[in-house]
């Protein structure tokens, strides 16, 4: 997707300059922020299509800024950080990030992650399901709407695409790699921590009892599957 509006948030001027030069050279519009507080102001004024957000900044940190941006917004957020421990990755994803890139990184890698984050699964795939209805769960795939116990539930684009792919497999186990590549893109496959976080979020939103899921089930050592009523 060329011509996207991208907000770059980093307290290091040289990194902002490098990313601005590369992103504008790829046809994107770029705005910058140095702190989490400034990022939120630019987020509301610039209305970006994607945010590149550093985790370590003075004042409001990246995690707090990410949570604030995620309230009421589905804009893709890619976290940039020198940290590489799984705990930090999970914290970033839990805060609402779509992806995570460790510094130092190559610009071609970052551009590939940006393309993947801006990628959107078509809202109505001809070969995919159109609806799912049960006593307590209704999914309208064409209009990307979910109702749980007759109340509307908001899913993020990644959560919705994950749910669509599971339902489309008709109760069959879906391997981790297939899910990652279907939802995040062909360059993914080993990021099982992404799935753990997003499946957990999905269960909290659609399951009557997230601790004892009846729809989104774990297939140990394989992946996940979506079980229809009576199919456990």
Residue with tokens 């899921």: 213
- Domain's final residue, options 118, 141, 165: 118
Q: How far apart are CA 52 and CA 110, in angstroms?
A: 10
Give 28-84 pLDDT, tens digit per residue: 999 999 999 999 999 999 999 999 999 888 889 899 999 999 998 999 999 998 876
Whole-number percent of the chain with pLDDT over 90? 71
Query: Are 114 and 175 found together in one domain?
Result: no
**Co-location of 137 and 162 in the same domain:** yes
**Residue 91 sits in the same domain as residue 164:** no
pLDDT digits (tens, 9 = 90+) for 170-198: 889 999 999 999 999 888 999 999 999 99
CATH number at residue 153: 1.10.10.10
Instruction: Decide which of 52, 86, 118 is a domain's last residue.
Output: 118
Pairwise CA distance, residues 2 & 140, whole Å: 30
| Alpha-helical segments (H) within 169-225 | 176-183, 192-206
Q: What is the dihedral of CA 139, 163, 126, 176, to 10 degrees?
A: -170
CB 50 within 8 A of CB 78: yes
pTM of the model: 0.86
Residues 114 and 136 in one domain: no
Tell me the average pLDDT of the chain.
Answer: 90
Q: Are residues 10 and 114 in the same domain?
A: yes
59 plus 160 within the same structural domain: no
Confidence of residue 230 (pLDDT cuts 50, 70, 90): low
Q: How many domains does the chain have?
A: 2
What's the confidence (pLDDT) of residue 124? 41
96 and 64 in a common domain: yes
Buried b / exposed e over 67-103, threshold 16 CB at 10 Å, is ebbbeebebbbbbbbeeeeeebbbbbbebbbbbbbee
Task: Decide if 50 is inside a domain.
Answer: yes
Residue 152 covered by a domain: yes
Give the total residue count for the chain: 232
The reply to whether 9 and 113 lie within a common domain is yes
174 in any annotated domain:
yes
Range of the domain at 75: 5-118
Same domain, 158 and 188: yes
Q: What are the tokens at 230? A: 């009576």
Task: Taking residues 101-110, report their average pLDDT.
Answer: 88
CB 158 within 8 A of CB 198: yes
């Amino acid at each position: 997707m060329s011509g996207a509006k991208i907000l770059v948030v980093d307290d290091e001027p040289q990194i902002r300059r490098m990313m601005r030069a590369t992103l504008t050279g790829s046809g994107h519009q770029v705005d910058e922020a140095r702190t989490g507080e400034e990022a939120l102001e630019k987020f509301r004024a610039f209305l970006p299509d994607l945010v590149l957000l550093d985790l370590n900044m003075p004042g409001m940190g990246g995690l707090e800024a990410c949570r604030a941006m995620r309230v009421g917004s589905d804009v893709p957020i890619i976290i940039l950080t020198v940290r590489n421990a799984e705990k930090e990755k999970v914290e970033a994803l839990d805060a609402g990030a779509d992806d995570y890139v460790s510094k130092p990184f190559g610009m071609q890698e970052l551009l590939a992650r940006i393309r993947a984050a801006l990628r959107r699964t078509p809202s109505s795939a001809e070969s995919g399901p159109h609806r799912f209805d049960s006593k307590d769960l209704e999914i309208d795939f064409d209009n990307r709407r979910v109702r749980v116990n007759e109340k509307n539930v908001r899913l993020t684009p990644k959560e919705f695409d994950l749910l669509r792919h599971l339902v489309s497999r008709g109760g069959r186990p879906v391997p981790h790699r297939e899910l990652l590549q279907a939802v995040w893109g062909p360059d993914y496959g080993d990021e099982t921590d992404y799935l753990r976080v997003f499946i957990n979020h999905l269960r909290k939103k659609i399951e009557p009892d997230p601790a004892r899921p009846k729809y989104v089930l774990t297939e140990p050592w394989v992946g996940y599957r979506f079980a229809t009523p009576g199919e456990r």
